Structure 1
Amino acid sequence: MAKGNPLQEQLLKAGLVKKSKVSAVAREQHLARHAKAGSAPSETALDAERARADKAERDRALERERKAQSRIAELRAQARQIVDDKRLPAAGEIEYRFSSDGAIRTILVDEDQRRKLSTGALVIARVGERHALLPRAAGDKVRERDAGMIVLDHGQGADGDASADTSEDDAYYAQFKVPDDLVW
């Protein structure tokens, strides 16, 4: 130790400290003296950091949107699969008319299917340009995944407030008799 601290040399000679401890302290002092001062970051560094943070946030937002679109596509595919698996054959001689996409559509049903459609036991779903008859349970599963596919559902109320109005209307119109042979 040619240029050591005289106090360190005296403590070392007296045996109060070890040589390894003296070297460690000397290294720390040297690093503290010669290390670059922790100056404030420059404006360009701050701008670069802000740009990196903005890009990371945009990337996260795009990824969330991509995942949401992927989830929607997955749910639509599940709904189409349910329609394909659970569709009932539309075989019959009675034309059942309903509104879909602003136009009147027709599907052939038998008497039992017509009655079930009017009570809400069957629903009509649209897949692409075609329409399919579905049982209520399958229609509910399709509605959970993509409500836009259900075209006709007489068993589904619009909302809670409308059901109270409907019950009052039903009580009023119950006094009028509707002919049994009325078919739309």
Structure 2
Amino acid sequence: MPSLQDQLLKAGMVDAKKAKALEKEKRRQAKQVRRGQAEADSDIEDAAAQAKAAKLEKDREANRQKQAQAEEKAITAQIKQLIESHRIARPGAGGGQGKEEPIGYQFVHGKKIKKILVDAKLQRQLECGVIAIVVLNDNYELVPAATAEKIAQRDSDIVVLLNDTIATAKDSGGDNSNDSDDDYYAQFKVPDDLMW
């Protein structure tokens, strides 16, 4: 079936030149519509690609946060296990079996002075740096210095008190390299039971 334009041309109502111009204009408009559609499609594809990239970045960040939380949880579990498996029994904490009267050992935690009950042996070990004080769930525990160092590698805030190891005369092999200051101050004895 011939088109309306062909019928009008045969009827003589429209001349060939004008029909050609109308056909050309019609093709140009169709081409512009297709070009506009292509640009719109391109814009939609760009927006979709940007949204996909943003979602991937958001997912990566969420995975990083989950992984960091999992690592933190694992470190906390390791610290708890180290403390519970190496804790030293002390008098007044339910596990000490010493026959001596408990001594209040005072130390600084944050900006507060705290006190735990120990016996004389534990007090000497704390002062010499053989054992340390750590905090677990707001409870203070005694652990060996080596364990406290492992804990400090994971989280230094858990270790409340770890004195430097003091070498005694037996430990140093009887080294006689004392300064004259040490000899001078040796005449001033400090009582062992002095509390601050």
Give the alignment's TM-score, normalised by structure 1.
Answer: 0.64
Answer with 1 or 2: which has the greater Rg: 2
> Contact conserved, 1:97 with 1:107, CA < 8 A, in 2?
yes
Two-structure CA RMSD over aligned residues (Å): 2.4
Paired residues, number: 132
Matched residue of 2:190: which SS?
coil
Q: How many Å separate the matches in 1 of 2:75 and 2:164? A: 23
Deviation at 1:64, TM superposition (A): 0.8
Aligned counterparts, 1:57-72, within 5 A: 57-72=57-72
* Residue number in structure 2 paired with 1:153: 162
Aligned counterparts, 1:34-45, within 5 A: 42-45=42-45
* Residue number in structure 2 paired with 1:179: 189
> Contact conserved, 1:90 with 1:107, CA < 8 A, in 2?
no
Q: How many Å separate the matches in 1 of 2:124 and 2:143? A: 14
**Aligned match of 1:114 in 123, 128, 145?**
123
Matched residue of 1:106: which SS?
strand
Matched residue of 2:123: which SS?
helix
Deviation at 1:183, TM superposition (A): 3.3
Give the alignment's TM-score, normalised by structure 2.
Answer: 0.60
Matched residue of 2:90: which SS?
coil
Query: Greater RCO between the two (CA within 8 Å, min separation 6)?
Result: 1
Q: How many Å separate the matches in 1 of 2:112 and 2:124? A: 23
| Unpaired stretches in structure 1, ≥5 consecutive residues | 1-38, 157-170
Q: 1:26-64, CA deviations, whole angstroms, 9 ceiling, x for partnerless residues? A: xxxxxxxxxxxxx88712211110110111011101101
Q: What letter corresponds to residue 97 of structure 1 in structure 2?
A: Q
| Unpaired stretches in structure 2, ≥5 consecutive residues | 1-37, 92-100, 166-178
Aligned counterparts, 1:43-82, within 5 A: 43-82=43-82
Deviation at 1:86, TM superposition (A): 0.7
* Residue number in structure 2 paired with 1:127: 136
Runs of 4+ that moved beyond 6 A:
none
Q: What letter corresponds to residue 102 of structure 1 in structure 2?
A: K
Matched residue of 1:148: which SS?
coil
How many percent of aligned residue pairs carry the same amino acid?
28
Indicate the structure with greater helix content.
1
